[in-house]
Structure 1
């Protein structure tokens, strides 16, 4: 009886010993893909920027403004109405006047809306503004 119990314990241990390297490899792969993967913020509104043939890469901006096709405004990841947008933009610019602002506007939006946002930025005291476009694919 005792011999059978000892034999079963040794058998279980040997199965665990064979699976342990597989578990280690799976965890190493998991850690690799977590570190190597790209983590991207979700945009608060659906925006399709206009295409451009310029291939200049832009560095990240401190503050991002999204203008959707229907005119919705978002500051960072927060959807705002016009009054809240202006108030929060003024507060953000007055806190850091030298920060860069990136505008991501939909290609179908009326240009007067973009000009209104630019005027709001100028009034708030921002001087570093970047307009975002997507690279046009070759035909």
Structure 2
């Protein structure tokens, strides 16, 4: 009786399943990474020694290093910020606000902005920072 030896697979046939798995993983991670909403301005918050997590609030005000301000996915002029926030809090009287300022932003401008927010009637303001490493 004569047995037939199985045909040896070529190197390309051995690598193909691995390539398929790598491409599937690539597609998965591309989709999973795209699900997070990107912020309008690139902000690097300052570090904090506090390890507590901020409460969930209704709005985020972004201040970039070059002084640009963003609120609700719109870049605002410095003079228009108070008007937009006054309108927002008229519609959301119990609304809270997170302020996320870049670590390199002008501190005097951020403090002046906080004072203007207090004048608008903001009751609670959360300052966002990254944890110290």
Same fold (TM over 0.5): yes
Q: RCO greater where, 1 or 2, for CA within 8 Å and sep 6 or more? A: 2
**Please, what TM-score do these two structures have when normalized by structure 1?**
0.68
Unaligned runs of 5+ in 1: 1-25
| Distance in 1 between residues matched to 2:48 and 2:101, nearest whole Å | 13
Structure 2 SS opposite 1:104 = strand
User: How big is the shift at 1:48?
Assistant: 0.3
2:58 is the alignment partner of 1:77: no
Matches within 5 A, 1:51-70: 51-70=47-66
- RMSD (Å) for aligned C-alpha atoms: 2.1
**Please, what TM-score do these two structures have when normalized by structure 2?**
0.71
Matches within 5 A, 1:79-98: 79-98=75-94
| Distance in 1 between residues matched to 2:35 and 2:112, nearest whole Å | 32
| Distance in 2 between residues matched to 1:120 and 1:39, nearest whole Å | 35
| Distance in 2 between residues matched to 1:39 and 1:124, nearest whole Å | 34
User: How big is the shift at 1:38?
Assistant: 8.4
Matches within 5 A, 1:1-139: 39-137=35-133
Number of equivalenced pairs = 106
Is the Cα–Cα contact under 8 Å of residues 97 and 125 in structure 1 kept in the other structure?
no
| Distance in 2 between residues matched to 1:133 and 1:116, nearest whole Å | 19
In the other structure, the counterpart of 2:13 is: none
Structure 2 SS opposite 1:74 = strand
Quick check: which one's helix share is greater? 1
| Distance in 1 between residues matched to 2:34 and 2:130, nearest whole Å | 19
| Distance in 2 between residues matched to 1:41 and 1:110, nearest whole Å | 26
Q: Deviation digits for residues 1-51 of structure 1, max 9, x if unmatched? A: xxxxxxxxxxxxxxxxxxxxxxxxx9xxx7xxx7x8784221111110001
